[in-house]
Amino acid sequence: MKKKYNTYKKSGVNMATADKLVNYISKISRKTYKKNSENKSFKNIGSFGSIFDLSKLKMNNPIIVSSTDGVGTKLEIANLLKKYDTIGIDLVAMCVNDLIVQGAKPIFFLDYIAVNKLKLSKVKKIIDGIVSGCKIADCALVGGETAEMPGTYQSNKFDLAGFAVGAVEKKNLLTKDKVKNNDVILAVPSSGLHSNGFSLVRHILKRKIKLSGSIKKDLIKPTKIYVKELNIINSKKLINGCANVTGGGLINNLMRVIPKNFSLNINLSKIKIKPIFKWLKKNNIKDSEMLRTFNCGVGFCIITNKKNVSRIKKVFSKEFQPYEIGYILKNKKKLEIKGKLEW
């Protein structure tokens, strides 16, 4: 009688499929490499660690800035709609948009993908999105980890995490002390929900609400990556401060970059609210909850001197034109809010 052996494959982990994926990632990730950063004597994908030659950056006194994040339960929207080719863009965006707040240019990115069972077609689409995001952010995908974890994740479930590293000349690092009295606050439009508040979105969807085609598109629309525009503006020294509007909403994220003894003055009635947020508001959500949970149409904020506004606007496309929503004052009272969100 032939003896039956236990194998890793029988436990739910297929190493052969994992090897095929590594080969795919190795090929596709090369599309994100910059000519001056590629080391031809070393292969990042498939190695134990990834390398990046900082000397190629041509910086005199570089400061390294790092960020890690995920996409939250937007993963479940991807599963619901069976659309996986853009969720990777979200992953890159959630990391690199934090780097540029401090003036850093993203230089490389790593991902972590955990799944119940490795399905090549599905994971390849996720990786394609990550590669697209890296190309938009002008950074290299230098490595990552794909973990097949039966028993930890339910059937068809997966999780994503990302890690980005950027660099900035020490003298160009954006810090709170650069924010000045009478600086204006520019709101840069979001592409939509970005990757925050989806647990509340999914709670609403449990009511079996019928989704129109436009709402479906808005729910899965990838997070806007602001790297290109912010790099241009920062190179011209037009920024005194900025904030990525993610978890916690507009007010909480702006408060993180306001110096001591200065106040944040915001006029909520100036915010240009996108249709997806108006749709959410109709589902019995208070204004305060909308502001705290969602970006409400403002994906990024730039704090600058009034004289720089016209030059900053020229850098952005029509869809993402910045507009004024407030200002900074030297004032011990930290926050002044006026107006209401115009639904």
Residue 49: what residue type? G
| Residue 107: both structure tokens together | 């230089």
Report the distance separating Cα 183 and Cα 325, nearest Å: 11
Report the distance separating Cα 70 and Cα 101, nearest Å: 18
Domains in the chain, CATH or no CATH each: 15-42+54-172 (3.30.1330.10), 176-338 (3.90.650.10)
Q: Give 191's contacts (C-beta < 8 A, 6+ positions apart).
A: 221, 222, 223, 224, 299
Query: How confident is the model at residue 204, as a pLDDT?
Result: 94
For 117-171, the pLDDT digits (tens) are: 999 999 999 999 999 999 999 999 998 999 999 989 999 899 999 999 999 999 9
The predicted model scores a pTM of: 0.92
Spatial contact of 63 and 170, defined as CB atoms under 8 Å apart: yes
Query: How confident is the model at residue 257, as a pLDDT?
Result: 95
Q: Is 266 left (phi over 0), alpha (psi -120 to 50) or beta?
A: beta
Over residues 14-30, mean pLDDT: 75
* 330 CB neighbour count, 10 Å cutoff: 11
β-pair partners for 184: 304, 327
Over residues 90-94, mean pLDDT: 98
| Residue 102: both structure tokens together | 């401090």
Query: How confident is the model at residue 36, as a pLDDT?
Result: 43
Residue 21, pLDDT above cutoff 90:
no
